[in-house]
Structure 1
Amino acid sequence: MLGRLRGRVRGVLEAAASPLAVLPADFYTVLGLAGALAYLWAARAGYPALATLLLAASGLLDALDGAVARLRGEAGPRGAYLDSLLDRVADTVYAAGFLALGYPVWSVLAFLTGALLTSYARARFESLAGRSMEGVGLLERSDRIAAQLLVLLVHARLGIEAAARLYTVLALLAWATFAERLARGYTQLPRSRAPHA
């Protein structure tokens, strides 16, 4: 959902990234993962408010690294590869943080597997079709980060029971997103390769 607004916020991101472009984009990609690990530490230490801030920082760095890459002329396959893989590590770290905060194991695993399968469905489709699947489904990665921030805010305000119920809804939406991408890819990809001319 938020991915559909990317064109509108791209200028804002690049303005924010401009003073950061003195360092390579990969630095911010790795720094985003460091923010995710700091979030996990805060969650394990029992500081949900601090965990919320660190998760927000990690998500912001994830959005900025691409803008820095474009400003520096570094956008390319190598950076995209690193970013994609570290995003999956960060997704797993985010899930570990929710486990540390006491969320039900089954809902955390459901959310994580839905998230990973959603990302894999896009990557596999794009490798086979040669075109993007961006914007397909309710919970793309930026949506998932924003949704997890909302859960943590509810946790801080209303307690873990209300937050855990919301997290369970997000797990269902993550799987719904994967199902939509599965159906879209299956119907759009050809059944067999075209014969060579």
Structure 2
Amino acid sequence: MLGRLRGRVRVVLEAAAAPLAVLPADFYTVLGLAGALAYLWAAHSGNVGLAALLLAVSGLLDALDGAVARLRGEAGPRGAYLDSLLDRVADIAYAAGFLALGYPVWSVLVFLTGALLTSYARARYESLAGRSMEGIGLLERSDRLAAQLIVLLVHARLGLEAAARLYTVLAVLAWITFAERLVRGYTQLPRRQS
């Protein structure tokens, strides 16, 4: 959903990335993972407000690394590969944080598997089709990050019970997104090798 605003967001990100482009993009990719691990520490400590802030910082760094790469002329397969793999590690750290905060294990597992399968469906489709699957589905990664941040803010304001219900809705939406990508990929890929 947020991916549909990507053109507008890209302009803002590139403006924010310009002063940061003195360092390589991979630095920000790794820093984003460090932010995710700091989020996990805050969640384990039970500090919901700090966890929300660190999740937002981690997500922002994840968005900025690509903008820095484009500004520095470093955008390419190696950086994209590193970014994708560290994004999956961050996704796991985010899920572990929700577990540490007391969210139901089953809903965290459903959300995490839906998120990982959504990302895998995109990667596999793009490797086979040679074209992007960006914009397909309700909860792309940027949407999932924003949604998890909202859950944490609800948790800080209204408590765990209300936030856990919202998180369960997100878990279902993550699987709906995976199903959308599964169907789109299956129907668009050719049956046989040409």
Q: What is the TM-score normalised by the length of structure 2?
A: 1.00
- What amino acid does structure 1 have at the position aligned with 2:86? L
- What amino acid does structure 2 have at the position aligned with 1:191? R
- Is 1:147 paired with 2:147? yes
Alignment of 1:5-24 (within 5 A): 5-24=5-24
- What amino acid does structure 1 have at the position aligned with 2:50? L
Alignment of 1:96-135 (within 5 A): 96-135=96-135
Partner Cα separation in structure 1 for residue 37 and residue 106 of structure 2 = 22
Report sequence identity in percent. 88
What CA deviation, in whole Å up to 9, does each residue of 1:83-114 have, x standing for no partner? 00000000000000000000000000000000
Secondary structure of the residue aligned to 1:41 is: helix
Secondary structure of the residue aligned to 1:190 is: coil
What CA deviation, in whole Å up to 9, does each residue of 1:104-148 have, x standing for no partner? 000000000000000000000000000000000000000000000
Residue 178 of structure 2 aligns with which residue?
Answer: 178
Residue 71 of structure 1 aligns with which residue?
Answer: 71
| Count of matched residue positions in the alignment of Structure 1 and Structure 2 | 194
Partner Cα separation in structure 2 for residue 12 and residue 146 of structure 1 = 17
Shift of 1:9: 1.4
Calculate the aligned-residue CA RMSD, in Å: 0.3
- Is 1:2 paired with 2:2? yes
Residue 32 of structure 1 aligns with which residue?
Answer: 32
- What amino acid does structure 2 have at the position aligned with 1:116? L
The answer for unaligned runs of 5 or more in structure 2 is none
Partner Cα separation in structure 2 for residue 12 and residue 180 of structure 1 = 29
Partner Cα separation in structure 2 for residue 53 and residue 76 of structure 1 = 30
Shift of 1:52: 0.2
- What amino acid does structure 2 have at the position aligned with 1:2? L
Shift of 1:8: 1.1
Runs of at least 4 residues off by over 3 Å: none
Partner Cα separation in structure 2 for residue 2 and residue 126 of structure 1 = 20
Secondary structure of the residue aligned to 1:144 is: helix
Secondary structure of the residue aligned to 1:97 is: helix
Shift of 1:11: 1.0
Alignment of 1:151-170 (within 5 A): 151-170=151-170
Q: What is the TM-score normalised by the length of structure 1?
A: 0.98
Shift of 1:169: 0.1
Secondary structure of the residue aligned to 1:61 is: helix
Secondary structure of the residue aligned to 1:35 is: helix
The answer for unaligned runs of 5 or more in structure 1 is none
What CA deviation, in whole Å up to 9, does each residue of 1:160-197 have, x standing for no partner? 00000000000000000000000000000000011xxx
Residue 62 of structure 1 aligns with which residue?
Answer: 62
* Deviates most, 8-17 or 107-116: 8-17
Partner Cα separation in structure 2 for residue 37 and residue 52 of structure 1 = 13
